[in-house]
Amino acid sequence: MKQFISSHDVSNIPALIDQALAYKASPRKDEQLGKHKRIGCLFLNPSMRTRLSTQVAAQQLGMEAIVFNVGSEGWALEFEDGAIMNGTTVEHVKDAAPIMGQYFDVLAIRTFPSLKDREADYSEFIIRQFIKYAGIPVLSLESATLHPLQSLTDLITIKEKMNADQSISRKPKVVLTWAPHVKPLPQCVANSFAQWVNAWGHAEFVITHPKGYELHDAYTNGASIIYNQEEALKNADFIYVKNWSAYEPYGTMPEFEGDWMLTLEKLKDTNNAKVMHCLPVRRNIELSDEILDSPHSIVTHQAANRVWAAQAVISNMICK
């Protein structure tokens, strides 16, 4: 695997899920695979789960993981080819990335969208500049429009819970529901979850959000879009809660009607639904205490599974 920035980089999603679950069953089974190899983890933006789970995963493969918080500790990077660098940027990605390509075997990058320039964000300009100049495999730790390690984790978690709950013999009903937030957030987790669930093809998939929060149909094609949250949640087995800002007008927070925060009352017509969130979560804004502190919530289990997703992907990037 030469890059991992979307579901399109994976030829067999069920096999990758099984590989991750095999690592969960036997975390050190490939501890020689990464011997004498290094992964560089570049963070242009903050992280907790992605940063720690990627380091743990790499170490379990016998690799050395080096973290560089570029956004807060590195030189300000320039990404525009041909730029006259007379402003605040100090080093061009064209110079920095090939050096990292010499230090590491895999380059992992987190880079959030601007939420101002939709064309640049949706072209994945920054991570593609690293791919262009690094000369080694590039792994997304969340980019402008997608968060593939999170989405792989989410499918692993659904598959694992399905295996444990023999009462669901049909395709599970998975509902992605929009939730409120105090500030505009990227669309990447929602885009990515939709892309991966659709590519996986093993769920009845519904997306619910207020009018004005439509995601790009490149990701949602295959899902049913239902604007009425109560109707969408009926018979749900899994509910994925996430806020995102509008695609059009880009990065805005259009007014919406109704109360979109999930509560226990809203779960009454579900199939005893399990509730997921990528975290971090703003309690009692995006998701209520009563859900997060109830047996419905599987967010900790989900976050723990980040290790196995990262381990499966990194192993495919370093194997011959």
**Cα–Cα dist 269/274, whole Å:** 13
**Distance between CA 251 and CA 116 in Å, rounded?**
7
Range in contact with ligand CP (rule: CB under 6 A) among 7-15, 45-53, 123-131, 260-268: 45-53
Q: Candidates 3, 19, 47, 208: give the one binding ligand CP (CB under 6 A).
A: 47
Q: Per CB under 6 A, which of residues 269..298 are in contact with ligand CP?
A: 278-280
Measured at CB, which residue is nearest to ligand CP? 50
Cα distances (Å, whole numbers) of residue 238 to 8, 43, 124, 203, 276: 24, 31, 30, 10, 7
* Distance (Å, whole) CA 57 – CA 228: 40
Residue 140 found at the interface with ligand CP (CB under 6 A): no
- List the structure tokens of 157: 């978690």
CB of 242 to ligand CP, least distance (A): 10
Q: Which is nearer to ligand CP, 126 or 232 (CB)?
A: 126
In the complex with ligand CP, which residue's Cβ is closer, 232 or 299? 299
Q: Which stretch binds ligand CP (CB under 6 A): 17-25, 48-56, 128-136, 217-225?
A: 48-56
Instruction: Please pick, from the candidates 30, 105, 121, 142, the single residue that binds ligand CP as defined by CB under 6 A.
Output: 142
Q: Residue 216 CB, nearest distance to ligand CP (Å)?
A: 21
DSSP H helices in the chain: 13-25, 49-60, 70-73, 93-103, 118-122, 125-134, 148-164, 188-200, 217-220, 229-233, 289-292, 299-304, 306-318
List the strands of the sheet with 38-43, edge to edge.
3-4, 138-140, 106-110, 38-43, 64-68
Between 53 and 270, CB nearer to ligand CP: 53
Number of C-beta neighbours around residue 129 at 10 A? 20
What is the C-alpha separation between 34 and 75, in angstroms, rounded? 29
| Residues within window 3-32 making contact with ligand CP, judged by CB under 6 A | none
Site string for ligand CP, 147-176 (x = CB under 6 A): ---x--------------------------
**Of 4, 7, 34, 49, which one interacts with ligand CP (CB under 6 A)?**
49
Binding site for ligand CP (CB under 6 A): 47-50, 142, 150, 278-280
